[in-house]
Every structure is written in structure tokens, then in C-alpha cells.
Amino acid sequence: MINERGYEAATFQAIAMRAGISRPTMHYYFATKEEIYDRLHREAYSVVSGAIAAARLEETLMKQLAAFTAAARELDCPYGSTMQFLITSLLEQHRHPGLRRSGATVAEAVTGFFVWMVDDAIRRGEIGEDVDGPAVANMLSALFWGVELFGGFLGGSDGVSGIAKQLNRLLSQGLLKQSPAPVGVSANGLAI
């Protein structure tokens, strides 16, 4: 319900109806909508931390990325609602700063994992030491959230496997056949 309507529009009544229970029954288990939101975040954190644990067992960046995304999808319920919730919660945290405390642990765990993964790849020599590690970690994080947004809301999960294959190819072989011309950076830090 929160995935479809957003935090503000998802009322107790609507959440109870979707769950197939009465509003008083919902109030028996949860005093506030914030409690429901926090519970959803705790469940999402367990999915993400399980995916991170699976990925940390792998020995290369590509295998870690593949294990992380595969485990996240496998641990998510069959309809992908946990990943959808994580995407919408990132947006909701910007609309409602009070929600940031409950969602911070999931976002921090994902960010921390990507930073660890890139640092580990640099340490192993998979990525050159001259590479801007934090920028690469942010890029991988942006790709992950973008693919999850696409899979959860825009293109459906059918398109995600094709995207994953192309990302694998992009990261392992490069996209361009020839060396690209250097890209300048504008005063505001954007590529020109």
C-alpha cells in the first residue's frame, strides 16, 4: 500500500484492508503508521543484510555484484515488494525528513557494502589504485538503485536480466571499442 500510494496517502484503513484485517485489529498490532513503516524497514534490512552477507563470500567484484543482486532478488518476496518499498522509502525520506531515521540503516548498509566492495577490489588489484574509489562506489550504488527502480516500477522484472547482462558486459569488457576523448568537468562538477 505504501509502495502504491506513498507514505502520506497510505492510511491505516487502506493498509488494514489490503492486509485483509479490520482497522481495530491493525491498531492492536501497530499504534501508529510510523510503527508499520519501521517494521517494514526492519524486514527490508534483513533482506539487504542477507544479500550483503552472501556477496561478501565471493572473491571478485563481478561475483560480489552478481551475488548481491541475485540474493536480494531471491530473498525478496515473490512479488518484489521489499525492493519496491526500499525504492519508495528513499524518495519518501526526502519528502518527510522525519522518516530518515528508520530508513537510514538500509541505505547506509547498501552504501557501506559498495564502498567495501570497491575498496576490496582496489586492494586485490582488480581496480587500479588511481581510480576514485568513492566515485566508483557511488556509481555502482546508483546503478543498483536505478535497476531496482526499473525492475520494480517501470519495466518489470523481465527486463532486469537483460540489463544485468549488459551491465556485466559493460563492467567486464568496457562499452566503447576505442578510447574515449577526455571529458571536461563544468564549474558545478558535471561532465560536459
Which of 137, 91, 130, 95 minimizes the C-alpha distance to 116? 137
* 182 has a pLDDT exceeding 70: no
Q: From residue 76, how far is each of 80, 119, 173, 190 by CA, in Å? A: 6, 27, 30, 35
CA–CA distance, 52 with 48 (Å, rounded to integer): 6
- At residue 113, the pLDDT reads 96
Distance CA 127, CA 176 (A): 18
Can you give the pTM of this predicted structure? Answer: 0.78
CATH code of the region 33-172: 1.10.357
Q: How far is residue 165's CA from residue 170's CA, in Å, rounded to a whole number?
A: 9
Return all residues near 91 (Cβ < 8 A) that are at least 6 apart: none
The mean per-residue pLDDT over the stretch 174-183 comes to 59
Cβ(95)–Cβ(2) below 8 Å: no
Question: Would you call 191 helix, strand, or coil by DSSP?
Answer: strand
pLDDT, tens digit, 9 for 90 and up, residues 31-78: 988 888 888 888 888 888 999 999 999 999 999 998 888 887 776 666
The string of pLDDT tens digits covering residues 105-148 is: 888 899 999 999 999 999 999 988 888 999 999 999 888 888 77
pLDDT value for 178: 57
Residues in the chain: 192
